[in-house]
Chain A
Amino acid sequence: ETGVTQSPTHLIKTRGQQVTLRCSSQSGHNTVSWYQQALGQGPQFIFQYYREEENGRGNFPPRFSGLQFPNYSSELNVNALELDDSALYLCASSLLRAQANEQFFGPGTRLTVL
Chain B
Amino acid sequence: SQQGEEDPQALSIQEGENATMNCSYKTSINNLQWYRQNSGRGLVHLILIRSNEREKHSGRLRVTLDTSKKSSSLLITASRAADTASYFCATDEGGSYIPTFGRGTSLIVHP
Contact = CB atoms under 8 A, between A and B. Distances in A.
Which DSSP category, helix, strand, loop or mixed, fits chain A's interface? loop
Interface in B40-94: 40-45, 48, 50, 88, 92
A88 B97 CA distance: 23
B80 to A, nearest CB: 19
Nearest to B106: A40
Contact of A101 (B41, B44, B97, B103): B97
B30 A90 contact: no
B98 A101 contact: yes
Interface string A93-113: 000101111111111101000
A56 interface: yes
B40 A110 contact: yes
Interface string B2-38: 1000000000000000000000000000110101000
Nearest to A6: B42
Given A59-B1, A100-B50, A102-B33, A42 B101 contact: yes
Interface residues of A, number: 29
A30 interface: no
Given A43-B88, A100-B50, A102-B33, A56 B98 contact: yes
B96 to A, nearest CB: 7
A42 B96 contact: no
Interface of A: 2, 4, 33, 35, 40-45, 48, 56, 59, 88, 90, 92, 96, 98-108, 110
Q: Please name the 7 residue pairs, one residue from A and one from B, whose CB atoms are nearest each other, closest first.
A: A42-B101, A105-B42, A105-B43, A107-B42, A101-B97, A43-B101, A42-B103
Interface of B: 1-2, 30-31, 33, 35, 40-45, 48, 50, 88, 92, 96-104
Given A4-B42, A43-B88, 15 more contacts: A42-B2, A42-B101, A42-B103, A42-B104, A44-B101, A45-B100, A100-B50, A100-B97, A101-B92, A101-B99, A102-B48, A103-B99, A105-B45, A108-B40, A110-B40
9 contacts: A42-B2, A42-B102, A42-B104, A99-B30, A100-B31, A100-B48, A105-B42, A106-B42, A110-B40
